Amino acid sequence: MTVTAQRFREFKMPDVGEGLTEAEILKWYVAPGDTVTDGQVVCEVETAKAAVELPIPFDGVVHEVRFPEGTTVDVGQVIIAVDTMPGSGGADQPPAAEPAPASAGQVEPAAEAEPEQRPQRQAVLVGYGPRTGTAKRRQRKPQVPSAAPSANGASASVPAPAPAAVPAPAPAPASVPAPASGPAPASAPGPKPLAKPPVRKLAKDLGVDLATVRPTGPGGIVTREDVHAAVAATAEPAAGAVTPAATAPTDVAPTGATPTGPETAAGAPGWAARETRVPIKGVRKATAQAMVASAFTAPHVTEFVTVDVTRTMKLVRELKEDPDLSGLRINPLLLVAKAFLIAIRRHPEVNAAWDEAAQEIVHKSYVNLGIAAATPRGLIVPNIKDAGAKTLPELASALAELVSTARDGRTAPADMQGGTVTITNVGVFGVDTGTPILNPGESAILAFGQIRKQPWVHKGKVVPRDVTTLALSFDHRLVDGELGSKVLADVAAVLERPRRLTTWG
């Protein structure tokens, strides 16, 4: 018995950040039958904060990969099973007895429909586990012909519901009532739909019969999106001006198929073929939530200043030729960052945070400088820890490493936590300035615009000079207008006369 318990080991999706609840599997590096060793990277996942490689903590041969690439998996779910004793013989092949505690929101495939059958049935995680023949997955393509007129108007991701789902009087036949009714054995159409308890509650609250919803989750699990899609599929035809059953027979897609006809949910021909739907997840989802929370929590104020940075650009060229700085990436952003840090040192009250729960303002004696980075997976803001204590060469090295790691998608979650202020370089996109939104929990964000030649009054004459515009957004709960203005003016003053990097620094 001990050998059986230890032979198959399961690796669960870990919490690779602080408080993250799910991650998307981007790529598998192993397949069933491959040999793995302790510490070997088996897959790459993307959380709401970054892409992370997951090492497996034991040796063996991959027995099963539970989820395909592109699947979003909850933290705590088993993603791979490994045979740690390959070749030890085997009647104990199926490893799915270990995930028996289906406490992570999973449900048993047929717990209510057949209580009196096979007492030896094992509870397993949804979508995989021992296939004993008593709890086979329900056939997802109903055998009853037609009777799904409400399928027209469904979006590309919402298939035609199962029979008798949409007509208002007929949800009862397809639902799964309590098994205490008279013809109990009549539950033969199949096990109850696979769904987590929160999804079941959502369906109940919305009046959706799960038996009529086509699942898109791994292993045939009904997801929240499936439930909302089912609601939309029934609501849109009723709200629109089109008559579903009589006027658009071509809209009714075959059972289990996706509507591809000329009519769309809006009743306009051909629109669906010209629309692409992208699931909101990963970095994009986290960014959206953070920006909404920031925009509607912190009262933003943005101030602007246009500054002559001709001397700063000259200093950049000189530093690039300095042999003491060879190998380092010297650019205008580096000097803007240094100027911002000097301004914060001169006005430390700006480096603070608002603690709503404790009703306190937290002043910070360190500066974790965030740099907004555009990556293929979306916008992220890693930060340089203790940036205010770094010398110019140290800051240049840290900035180059931060940008390179972000572009490669290898930024660790810890590198995106604890930021205090941020710089966003919109100038690289040819933009003069903007009104940036604060990174949640931070007090200020500086937008650095494009540097361009402009006519400028210099020593009493109008001459072409290198000019840029800076914009500083700050949390008005923490930073008064006077303080914000002084910080922005100091940044501009350093960039206008960069010798202040030494006299003020």
Active site residue ranges: 476
Angle ∠(11,92,87) on CA atoms, nearest 5: 80
Measured between alpha carbons, how far is 209 from 218 in angstroms, rounded to an integer?
20
Element (DSSP H or E) covering residue 336: helix 332-346
Rounded Cα gap, residues 53 and 472, in angstroms: 36
Q: In 139-250, which ranges are continuous DSSP H helix?
A: 197-206, 224-239, 244-247
Phi/psi zone of residue 453: left (φ > 0), alpha (ψ -120 to 50 degrees), beta? beta
Q: Which of 299, 298, 304, 300 is nearest to 472 (CA)?
A: 304
Half-sphere exposure of 112 (CA within 13 A, CB side): 12
Contacts of residues 241-250 at CB distance under 8 Å and 24 or more positions apart, as own/partner, are 241/267, 242/152, 242/153, 242/267, 244/149, 244/150, 244/152, 244/153, 245/149, 248/152
Of 345, 340, 348, 408, nearest to 373 by C-alpha is 408
- What does the alpha-carbon distance between residue 278 and residue 283 come to, in Å, rounded to a whole number? 13
On the CB side of 255, how many CA atoms lie within 13 Å of its CA? Answer: 15
Per-residue b or e along 224-243, where b marks 16 or more CB atoms closer than 10 Å to that residue's CB: eebbbbbbbbbebbeeeebe
CA–CA distance, 95 with 184 (Å, rounded to integer): 33
Write b or e for each residue in 185-218: b if 16 or more Cβ atoms lie within 10 A of its Cβ, otherwise e.
Answer: eebeebbbbbbbeebbebbeeeebbbbbbbbebb
Q: Under a CB-based contact definition with an 8 Å cutoff, are residues 26 and 44 in contact?
A: yes
CB 170 within 8 A of CB 211: no
Place of tokens 């192993």: 30
